[in-house]
Structure 1
């Protein structure tokens, strides 16, 4: 595996030249200069570096010796080691007697920069792999094999930690993602989709029950923080909790449906919780399976004779206020006789009386189905 490339080699050159006021060259494992303070020397063979690689030790070149070697100048060349192997060479240009004291310092700096770069690359690779494994988990456990769980174990992912799927949609995906990522717990998993971020959020369990209030409060803080500090609008959809690994996919699907119906029913809300949208989610799934015709077309019947939308508004508020006439007339700013007339009119047009529980249920189902299409 090649650890040194031109980009990293030049970074080593730039950073080490700040330590000493001398030209620095970095050569790869073949002795080719891939980083230098003198750009004219890039891509040329450094014979002194070739000797360092062959002998695994430093090699000094005096001014007199430069004529005997190809592509070199007076200086000191030292092996760059990584995990016990020579992966390149770093050279300091100048009279050896003048720069010898700098050699180990520059070599140490180069190796530290290399180790840091490789560590960051490995961490980024692990993050990408973790995202990939999380994405597979969202689609169920049926297709997961032993290799999958070996990778999960290597990355230190604990799938027994209780979690809930949460969808986050930002006005600026990249900016919002970075802000949220800094707020995550170590056990949280996430994956970026084109239009949203999926988060498997660690949750608190008390007496086998999910303390959903804590999760929702945290989501409210995040939504407020994104708006206040990042100037970003955010919609958050929270799925359901299931105690087993195969329940993660169920939680994710419910979060997807909740996001869809929540945006249609309450477009001004920022947080949609599955438990608040169980019925419209059910209807959305019914529509998906093509059996929505079983629910009567009552809302369509009302719309044909309700140009101002007064009957629909009345029905909606009547349901929300649990049929309490006093509260309904207060919200709609109408007289009790007007409410009675509108309820009678709804009954006349649909043959369903909102004052009867069974009829009201059918009317409400028709209303929701019309909203979530």
Structure 2
């Protein structure tokens, strides 16, 4: 059904080009919009007849007595996807309107199609965002979402992976980015939309790890050209009702991944996420106890040492110091903390303390 707002837009845009009065009527023959504003919301019996028969009706001067609320002109049905949604009428001598009437009908149907398709897409997007919001809220799902999940066939035993795409800035138009992101996953996309202003979510189904990674790198390459950002990848779950677990994992990936890291899997930050769930006071006590006495240069040395997998030559090269200087610093760290960076167990404690401190 054509809305009043759409009818007004059709009349305004078409009359500018046509220089003739137009009326747009609903399927009951009520005039929704017209260049002659006094006729709005009145019955147009000719339009009602067109809506009933689905056929164009021309009304000449001699025919006015047969119809109520009409003027000479041509009234044509408007279809959308094979269904009659309204009537468009052009005021004037039907003989003079023969050449332009079909063009006006075609143009109107194109405008209706564009508007209704856009509205349908927007409605679907909002519905998807509502479904995702409920799935990840941790609260019981509404009956409407349960029904929609069943209609979409998502309650079967297949795997789902949540992707959170954090954009550096809001792209314009942002909705186009969502559509392009969906396009990278084709039929594997379950739902997609905005979870936050600068963040897009996508729930993908049945993606194999290797294929998923390939698509993600392709997507990152695309984003660098349009809306630079990074992607947090959640764990795969085997039920749509466990999507919250995948979502929280993707959220942790973004939260605990390095700022300059573009693709972050939850597995990369899982240990840090587990540790960060402890009270901050306890974490501060741990890092304070382990690292007390170490100045910033020694902490930087230790960080680089672990980044180089405890390789002395590589660490010294990265720090641009002599290997003897590195050995001296590592010994000093051992003397201060009582922990030997070269020993596995001690290195784990030092590494965790440095990581949590950041």
Q: Same fold (TM over 0.5)?
A: yes
Partner of 2:187: 186
Partner of 1:200: 203
Q: Does 1:301 align with 2:292?
A: yes
What is the CA-CA distance between 1:27 and the residue it aligns to? Answer: 2.6
Which of these residues, 245, 248, 255, is aligned with residue 240 of structure 2?
245
User: TM-score, normalised to structure 1's length?
Assistant: 0.76
User: TM-score, normalised to structure 2's length?
Assistant: 0.79
1:309-354 Cα offsets, whole Å, 9 max, x none, are 2211221122233333333333323233222221222122222222
Q: Does 1:137 align with 2:111?
A: no
Partner of 1:44: 39
Which of these residues, 354, 359, 366, is aligned with residue 353 of structure 2?
366
Runs (5+) with no aligned partner, structure 1 = 206-210
Q: Does 1:76 align with 2:74?
A: yes
Distance 1:339 1:54, change over 3 A: same
- Match of 2:341, SS state, is coil
What is the CA-CA distance between 1:167 and the residue it aligns to? Answer: 1.5
- Match of 1:173, SS state, is coil
Q: Is the 8 A contact 1:170 1:234 kept in 2?
A: yes
- Match of 2:321, SS state, is coil
Distance 1:358 1:198, change over 3 A: same
- For residues 17-32 of structure 1, the aligned pairs below 5 Å read 23-28=21-26, 32=30
Partner of 1:208: none
What is the CA-CA distance between 1:282 and the residue it aligns to? Answer: 1.9
Distance 1:369 1:159, change over 3 A: farther
Which of these residues, 5, 8, 13, is aligned with residue 6 of structure 2?
8
Aligned equivalents of 1:28 and 1:240: distance in 2?
Answer: 51
Aligned equivalents of 1:275 and 1:116: distance in 2?
Answer: 44
Root-mean-square deviation over aligned CA pairs: 3.8
Q: Is the 8 A contact 1:25 1:92 kept in 2?
A: yes
Aligned equivalents of 2:267 and 2:81: distance in 1?
Answer: 53
Partner of 1:283: 275
What is the CA-CA distance between 1:133 and the residue it aligns to? Answer: 0.6
Distance 1:110 1:355, change over 3 A: closer
Aligned equivalents of 1:278 and 1:85: distance in 2?
Answer: 54
Which of these residues, 213, 223, 248, is aligned with residue 226 of structure 1?
223
Q: Does 1:356 align with 2:348?
A: no
Which of these residues, 289, 310, 321, is aligned with residue 323 of structure 1?
310
Q: Is the 8 A contact 1:33 1:43 kept in 2?
A: no
Distance 1:135 1:216, change over 3 A: same
Q: Is the 8 A contact 1:80 1:110 kept in 2?
A: yes
Distance 1:281 1:327, change over 3 A: same
Aligned residue pair count: 349
Runs (5+) with no aligned partner, structure 2 = none
